[in-house]
Structure 1
Amino acid sequence: MRTHGLRLAGALSMIALTLALAPPAQAGPAGTSPQESAQARWEKRWSPSPRRDGVNAFEALEDDRRGSHPEGQPHVYVAGDAWRFDAHLEDRDGSDRMRNEVRGMRTADGRPLEIRKDETWRLTYQMYIPDTLDATTSFTHIWQLKNSDVGTPVAQISLPVVNGVQKIAARYWTLEDNKSHDFATADLEPIQNKWVTTTIEFKSGDAGYMRWVLQDGRRTIVDEKVEGIDLWWTEEQYNRPKWGIYRSIKSAGLQETYLLVKDLRAEQLGPATPPVKLPPPDRSAGAYEAERVGNVWEGAAEPAYCAVCSGGRKVILIGGNIYDYAVIKGVLAETAGPRPMTVHALVDGTQEFSVSVNGGDAIRVPMTGSKDKVTTTTVPVDLVAGVNTIRFYSHTARSPELDKIVIGQGS
């Protein structure tokens, strides 16, 4: 079953490419076919500098987000003219995997670049894969395309072992059966311990395409594309790339290793899409939006678009373990004492939050509802005079998606 959200009314409407866009010709990755020249041009949208932008070039940093190896931090950092991703044997992102990645692209003015429906993008960069970064019999991914609504990746560059041989592979996923499909591979060992250039071009649509080019200097190792594939899984969120090392710890012979990435560039075919315009947040007395600047989102928890939420956003992926939680900060009270707190959230059937006020004992907040409508429930909370923090979490299962809270007056 495909996962679809509601379209963000007005705000998430796409600028249509009114002319049919032909897939790129088999020129080099920087080439433009005659058909493209006649219809639309590649426009550079992103070209960050490690020295100038650092990790702020990306929308978010996933540097040991479970806190498994604080002695090894930072795991993601600038090294000379490149970004470096370290992978230690101690690192964990769950019991059977490790992850040190960056996600998304951020412009110099701090705005995320959003890859939306039926847009065509081309990502080009150089990468250095040392011989300690082995292909594995389980999974090792060094690039991904994902969106917030669905855990399954849309596409990847991975390092599998195929018939006993180390490979580098480009793949896309099908959501209906949660399976990956390699459409191009190359031997890994000949490109290790050297800089190689890779280009990933794709149309982010229901009937999209993906092209992967791998070059060693002027020599093209791979130039393959697959057409008619579904690379758009949600109407509400947007696709975004990820770079780094995300691997299973179940393969034998894993080594401590790293990955280097430099000369990142993103181009869009056709004009830049205007930024999404969101409705205003709730600014009434006692209202605190979950996505408000200054709040804390730990682990996988993050703000995402929401058509039915105030402010046009919600915080997703709260709960299910001790790592993924959200904290609403700056909750004010003139005097100490109990207050009614109304929680606004999108609920998938029956779910619950655990709520801790200022580090106090957990308050259970069960909710029943649907993911296309905001559900509310009210619980009493004890606040101190002045500034309070309220933490939303669950150690056992995913919690609802949090829109906002509203603190009422005391009795």
Structure 2
Amino acid sequence: MRRHLVGALAAMALLLQTAPAHAVGAPRWETRWNPSPWRDGVNAFEALEDDRRGSHPEGLPHVRADKGVWRFDAHVEDRDGSDRMRNEVRGMRAADGTPLEIRKDETWRITYQMYIPDTLDATTNFTHIWQLKNSDVGTPIAQISLPVVNGVQKIAARYWTLEDNKSHDFATADLEPIQNRWVTTTIEFKSGDAGYMRWVLRDGQKNGSRTIVDEKVDGIDLWWTEEQYNRPKWGIYRSIKSAGLQETYLLVKDLKAEQLGPPTPPVKLPPPDRGPGTYEAERAGNLFEGAAEPAYCAVCSGGRKVILIGGNIYDYAVVRGVLSETTGTRQLTVHALVDGSQSFSVSVNGGDAIQVPMTGTKDTVTTATVPVDLVAGVNTIRFFGLTARGPELDKIVIR
């Protein structure tokens, strides 16, 4: 028995000595997200973009969990602006409700099954069914799209280059053979300045044996911001300028996201301003409509700001719970990041708009002060802009 044990230990030692160096302590794929339509519903995602312009309330919900899948409906009357429609979800939420953040130089692999009906056609203008984006830049980082190429319907994986705002398809397949059936897709990427993206498309469900596409592109820039994080989006986002659009849908199930190696420690944020009369723009209970949303900000109190305010009637933010002991005129100081010369329109308790012009730079918090009329008790202050994007709101102070 002793000789057998010694022999086994010697064999193990020899194996360790001759094993390749990368086999010892090599990072492994760790599942970070594996939601269920039954259990999590649309709370699996960070946010919904379900007819955020209110163009088709009769069609709500356009995004929902339905019998074990997530379903995205698109109607010809849906609008997200004058020339496009969008019914998507963005981001991923962990089981504890916190967003999962894809950070710089992290490697991720996202796998899911999708069902593309024959009513979801490829188009001569854009149709996207998956995107990778961050909140600071409007240009997408990567996409799965349905283009028409030389008269043939395709499904394509592409990445974008920020300097010229152009897309680059690195893998395509014919769309029609995979419509009206389940296919499995895997998107693997390194979220870095010199990253990579790999797209695998397989016919059938999880154990489908036929690989339709398996392509990889190296040395591409998939990290565009130092403050924000990358996040995936699913759904239907398309131009309405293509002929022959019809009511359609997209089905998604068996979502899973894996990260290579352990999770990155969370970002440490500066504390919020707890001074008297101070209200952080991003605080819980405030209202963010349309595209407006909180985002990271290294120079802001609380480490966050609210972006994408103004430019239309839909994108606005409301600071709620502003207290005043008496009715009367008070001084409102707005703290924001400004790109040159911009302005907010401000409405207190639904009253007439007050203009707040500001001039500054995007890396420094700028202030402007205007008088506002408050009522005794609780007030709401709405920040908007009908014709142009406004500054990025950090906080307000009432004196």
The alignment's TM-score, normalised by the length of structure 1, stands at 0.90
C-alpha displacement of 1:273: 1.1
In structure 1, how many angstroms separate the alpha carbons of the residues matched to 2:342 and 2:219?
38
In structure 2, how many angstroms separate the alpha carbons of the residues matched to 1:278 and 1:70?
38
The alignment's TM-score, normalised by the length of structure 2, stands at 0.93
2:3 corresponds to which residue? none
Deviations 1:95-119 (A, max 9, x none): 0000000000001111000000000
In structure 2, how many angstroms separate the alpha carbons of the residues matched to 1:184 and 1:39?
29
C-alpha displacement of 1:277: 2.0
1:90 corresponds to which residue? 77
In structure 2, how many angstroms separate the alpha carbons of the residues matched to 1:274 and 1:72?
41
C-alpha displacement of 1:288: 0.3
1:179 corresponds to which residue? 166
In structure 1, how many angstroms separate the alpha carbons of the residues matched to 2:297 and 2:269?
10
C-alpha displacement of 1:313: 0.1
1:398 counterpart (360, 364, 389) = 389
1:104 corresponds to which residue? 91
Q: Residue 77 and residue 37 in structure 1: after superposition, are their counterparts in 2 closer, same or farther (change >3 A)?
A: farther
SS of 1:116's partner is coil
1:78 corresponds to which residue? 65
SS of 1:153's partner is coil
1:290 corresponds to which residue? 281
SS of 1:53's partner is helix
C-alpha displacement of 1:39: 2.0
SS of 1:105's partner is coil
SS of 2:30's partner is strand
Bigger radius of gyration among the two: 2
In structure 2, how many angstroms separate the alpha carbons of the residues matched to 1:81 and 1:214?
22
C-alpha displacement of 1:276: 1.6
C-alpha displacement of 1:85: 0.3
2:219 corresponds to which residue? 228
Identity fraction in percent: 86
For 2:65, the aligned partner's letter is V
Matched, 1:138 2:125: yes
Using the TM superposition, name which of 276-285 and 152-161 deviates more.
276-285
Q: Residue 187 and residue 399 in structure 1: after superposition, are their counterparts in 2 closer, same or farther (change >3 A)?
A: same
C-alpha displacement of 1:165: 0.5
How many residues in Structure 1 have an aligned counterpart in Structure 2? 376
1:52 corresponds to which residue? 39
Structure 2 gaps of 5+ residues are: 1-19
2:351 corresponds to which residue? 360
1:242 counterpart (233, 238, 254) = 233
For 1:343, the aligned partner's letter is V
1:384 corresponds to which residue? 375
Matched, 1:306 2:293: no
For 1:396, the aligned partner's letter is T
For 2:236, the aligned partner's letter is I
In structure 2, how many angstroms separate the alpha carbons of the residues matched to 1:281 and 1:312?
7
C-alpha displacement of 1:34: 10
In structure 2, how many angstroms separate the alpha carbons of the residues matched to 1:259 and 1:113?
24
C-alpha displacement of 1:78: 0.6
SS of 1:106's partner is coil
C-alpha displacement of 1:280: 1.3
For 2:230, the aligned partner's letter is N
1:5 corresponds to which residue? none
C-alpha displacement of 1:279: 1.5
RMSD: 1.2
Deviations 1:305-347 (A, max 9, x none): 0000000000000001111000000001111111000000000
Matched, 1:218 2:219: no
Structure 1 gaps of 5+ residues are: 1-32
